Structure 1
Amino acid sequence: MGAIYRREMGAFFTSSIAYVFLAVFYLASGYFFFASSLASATTDMSGVFTSLFLIVVILIPVLTMRLFSEEKKQKTEQGLLTSPVSIGGIVLGKYFAALTMYAIGLAILFLYALILSFFGAVSWGIVTANILALFLLGAAFISVTLFISSLTENQVVAAVLGIIALLVLYMLDVVAQFTENLPIVPTVLNALSFYTKYYDFTAGLFDPASVLFFISTAVIFNFFTVRVFEKRRWS
């Protein structure tokens, strides 16, 4: 897994993906920080974290689109599958490389909080909980888009399908409002709502069940990705 992880981290920085991802994330988060905190003269960063949800939905598929689709396109997939590294190690190596890049992007949020601390009292507990929520959200979303990348050899298709999939997850609670007359359906959709669970963190509510939900999603979709490649190895 370590070799795959180092390889993918190097690939991020030798291509333009890391720079595009970080530049757009920093630009968007910087704008939201200015608009919701600095311009309003407040140390409350909840507006920044709420706004970043949609940015994450758009950027994460771009971050993960090439991780498996490129292997398939360049015909290096079989060499990877026959390497001494286990399929689980391959998937997790790529997954943690993407998660590391994502964490590098999130680190800027601590800098924003530090800047605000010079102007007033910052609730570091709430800021840390919000960043943790954003990290867990990204961990879940990366696993979903990594799974999608394993299904196609076209990076653009992987990115577009990834954005669509994450938008669907983003809109679950909205869809639930239009299915109120149907039995069980609204309850199920609300239970699966990523936005509702994430928004609770931005409101200062730390729910262990939401943490477990995000972690479980990451585990499940990484398992699905492993199964995809196990099937290909023996086909």
Structure 2
Amino acid sequence: MRNLLAILERELKSYFLSPVAYVVLGFFLVATGLFYYNIINWFDRMSMQSMMMAQQYRQMPQPINVNMMAIRPLFHNIAIIGLFLVPGITMRLFAEEKRQGTMELLATSPLSNWQITLGKFAAALVFYLVMLLATGVFVGLLFFFGNPEVMPILTGYLGLLLVGGCFISLGLLFSAFTENQIIAFVGAFAVNLAILSLGWLANFVGPNLAAFFSSLSPIEHFDDFAKGIVDTKHLIYYISFMFGAIFLTYVTVESGRWRGAR
């Protein structure tokens, strides 16, 4: 456990000393802010229309569900933004070690490949969590527009963390494949986009294939979390997805260690 925490601390220091991490964080907050601005404008128009119709028919205005109309769309947008930006977080994790030649030092250290892999994954997940926490400002401002339910917000953030964990595990795998950060970024981004497309393909095929395609997409599994529902099948999916990608990363790193030993 101590070795894993040492890797976690080392990688977190690298993140917060790297300009790339701050660029990713900046793009993430700017993109989230733009979507937030559009959502608030749309929400405000819907509120005004509701009030005008109530005045016209001399009725009480219908309450507008802040969670459904604002928070849920915001969370879905954050998940999509993460798809594009998470490869920027993960591209250096193994690729930079290989480029600088420090991977050989790690291979000869008392650290196991599982500790190295899990430590790097945990560091990227912590940095992604920091990114998510920064969006709490946007969510907090929505309390001025109504009384959103807190539970869907909490489960929504849990879902976002799990979605991000899937993207991070894939990015980690592609970083282990190469010493070129650009290749690691493009590979992870392409696979993330392909997985996202499975949800879109579900709209153009029969019901059986649609259910199958939807079941493969991390974004499709997120919807219940945004509604305040934590379903065991979704948790199993996310944990299995992350474990599968992390295990393949471990196998890749282990094979590299054996090649280096020969």
TM-score normalized with structure 2 length: 0.83
Deviations 1:42-78 (A, max 9, x none): 7331111111222111100011001001111112111
Aligned residues: 233
1:190 to 211, 214, 224: 214
Q: 1:115 & 1:186 partners in 2: Cα distance?
A: 37
Measured after TM superposition, the shift of residue 227 of structure 1 is: 0.8
Identify which of 244, 251, 261 aligns with 1:220.
244
Alpha-carbon separation, structure 2, partners of 1:77 and 1:83: 10
Residue matched to 2:28: 25
Percent of aligned positions with the same letter in both sequences? 33
- Report the CA distance shift for 1:177/1:112 in structure 2 as closer, same or farther (over 3 A): closer
Give the AA of the match of 2:28: F
* Structure 2 residues not aligned, in runs of 5+: 45-63
Q: 1:177 to 1:48 in 2, by over 3 A?
A: closer
CA distance in 1, matches of 2:144, 2:230: 26
Aligned to 2:90: 64
Segments of structure 1 that go 5 or more residues without pairing to the other structure are none
Larger radius of gyration: 2
How high is the TM-score relative to the length of structure 1?
0.91
The DSSP-based 3-state class of the residue aligned with 1:107 is: helix
Q: Is 1:18–1:63's contact at 8 Å kept on the other side of the alignment?
A: yes
Asked if 2 retains the 8 angstrom alpha-carbon contact of 1:109 and 1:131, the reply is: no
Higher helix share: 2
- Residue of structure 1 equivalent to 2:74: 48
Alpha-carbon deviation of 1:38?
5.7
Match of 1:168 among 183, 194, 214: 194
Residue 11 of structure 1, CA deviation: 0.9
- Aligned amino acid, residue 10 of structure 2: R
Q: Is the 8 A contact 2:35 2:77 kept in 1?
A: yes
Name the Cα RMSD after superposition: 1.9
In the TM superposition, 1:1-235 aligns within 5 A as 1-37=4-40, 40-41=43-44, 43-44=66-67, 45-180=71-206, 186-235=210-259
